[in-house]
Chains A and B, each alone.
Chain A
């Protein structure tokens, strides 16, 4: 029968071993040789776009890379799908964009902010997502 000290060893031993493997895998998957994101293509505009994405909590409604609020469309491939001019127009609109009646906040972004958002979404759209971008049909341009 398992003793309490054996159970304690199982807990501490298992935790240490799996945590070390986890750290190792983290280093491996974030190594430059394994980059799937085209990291070197991250420009100042992309960074500014990410900052805008966060400070406006776009993820509270939309999703990106499959993560978000599930209330508004997934935006990973939105530039492919809808084109940069429409995206900029929506971001700069003084009237809430409301497809099928579901309203978006009217952000009235100035030109440079809308351009940064587009740069950010263009960079996102080129990430290798291990097949998610091609299987999830509305995201993939060639399936429309």
Chain B
């Protein structure tokens, strides 16, 4: 760690750990409800658990992206953040918005629009929070000694994410128009600008971990994010096939969303190639595992599993089924959760000065969470295929088909336990690292060359 202000990232990462743990708890509540064990229904009905589960994911990922930006931007711009005090204000306000929103969900206070359940009043707080964050980042970059492509791509992703939140705040009388513009937020975030953020973090980590020349990595970063937007923007059409808008989206969405895996394939090849090309043998292997793992799993989860049901002819049957849940879990896990865990794994030894990066617990956390998530995704996938067949080919009633797929949720819960154990170990390691120290600043100058063998 070169700059003291980078330490602020630690608290954003700590918020990530807290909210991630809570997200898993609500995931279990949903999983048990699906197998008929809904004893908490009177206090936490399924719609509350679901809103909390998905919104916690969004808030903690945003917290992770913001923490990553606070860690990366000073190194890229070669200067301290312009204001650490305002960064802490921003952190507290982010946590406050999250807590208020999630508490409200337990008292029927929400907007009830999938993924955008935060009530409109809190949306304004989100806007203020994000403006404050962007103000700090952009001013730091403006005053910085250096402007790199990595910082540019990461910042563009964060700025576009903020702008794209706005269409989701407009009221529409029509459910169809509402849904149309809701996807401007949700799709263009997760299959668009968030990939810029992921690409920026990935490029930073590859430069640090592999030692490959920055110019080479940043050139390919442009190609990857170029492919992302080229396919992802018009790929939004795959959400418009069957919601009551023109048939033209069947063609446009079909063609461009079929191209979307290319960006993820390029990202996976890019990461693996840079790793092989790299001459540096960085001791933080666990950060490398999460980094390369993120690029590969995002290709499978977001790319391949997305492609599996994106063509209109297939989506006609899978639209609105558990197939979507299956794809969603592996895509978010690979593309965004793993990259946030990668930057945390990379930053923690540097911020705290403690070399715990080769501990068995860290490796166990990686493998158990990945095996657990893969098992969950397979179980959900099987449930989805059975649901499609029974409900949409054999015309069974929804609830009858749900009874038939219960057993797959038992399997999913078993795998979720494995996953939770892995994440528990990751959080345990995070806690064991302790807080950032100023000694780590000195260590960076004197000892970092020794880290590179």
Q: Residues of A at under 8 Å CB distance from B?
A: 2-4, 7-8, 10-11, 14-15, 18-19, 21-22, 25-26, 28-30, 34, 36-37, 39, 42, 46-47, 50, 53-61, 63-74, 96, 99-103, 105, 120, 124, 127-132, 135-138, 143-144
- A2-B219, A69-B47, A100-B399 in contact; A129/B110 too (CB < 8 A)? no
| Residue from the list A10, A21, A100, A127 in contact with B403, Cβ < 8 A | A100
Min C-beta distance of B50 to chain A, whole Å: 5
Min C-beta distance of B434 to chain A, whole Å: 39
> Which residues in B have their C-beta under 8 angstroms from that of A58?
47, 112
25 residue pairs A–B, Cβ–Cβ below 8 Å: A2-B219, A2-B223, A7-B226, A11-B225, A25-B248, A25-B252, A28-B246, A29-B240, A29-B249, A34-B245, A37-B244, A42-B174, A56-B108, A57-B111, A59-B47, A67-B320, A70-B321, A70-B324, A73-B398, A100-B403, A102-B399, A120-B175, A132-B319, A136-B320, A144-B395
Most buried by B among A50, A60, A72, A105: A60
Chain B, interface SS category: helix
Is A30 in contact with B177, judged by CB distance below 8 angstroms? yes
Is B219 in contact with A29, judged by CB distance below 8 angstroms? no
Is A4 in contact with B222, judged by CB distance below 8 angstroms? yes
Chain A, interface SS category: helix
B102-150 contacts to A, CB under 8 A, are 105, 108, 110-114, 117, 149
Is B50 in contact with A36, judged by CB distance below 8 angstroms? no
Is A100 in contact with B402, judged by CB distance below 8 angstroms? yes
**B397 located at the interface, meaning its Cβ lies under 8 Å from any Cβ of chain A in the complex:** yes
A3 to B149: give the CA distance in the assembly, Å. 14
A4 to B203: give the CA distance in the assembly, Å. 14
> Which residues in B have their C-beta under 8 angstroms from that of A28?
246, 248
- A10-B226, A70-B322, A129-B244 in contact; A135/B114 too (CB < 8 A)? no
Q: Which residue of A lies closest to B395 (CB)?
A: A137
> Which residues in B have their C-beta under 8 angstroms from that of A36?
176, 244-246
A39 to B172: give the CA distance in the assembly, Å. 11
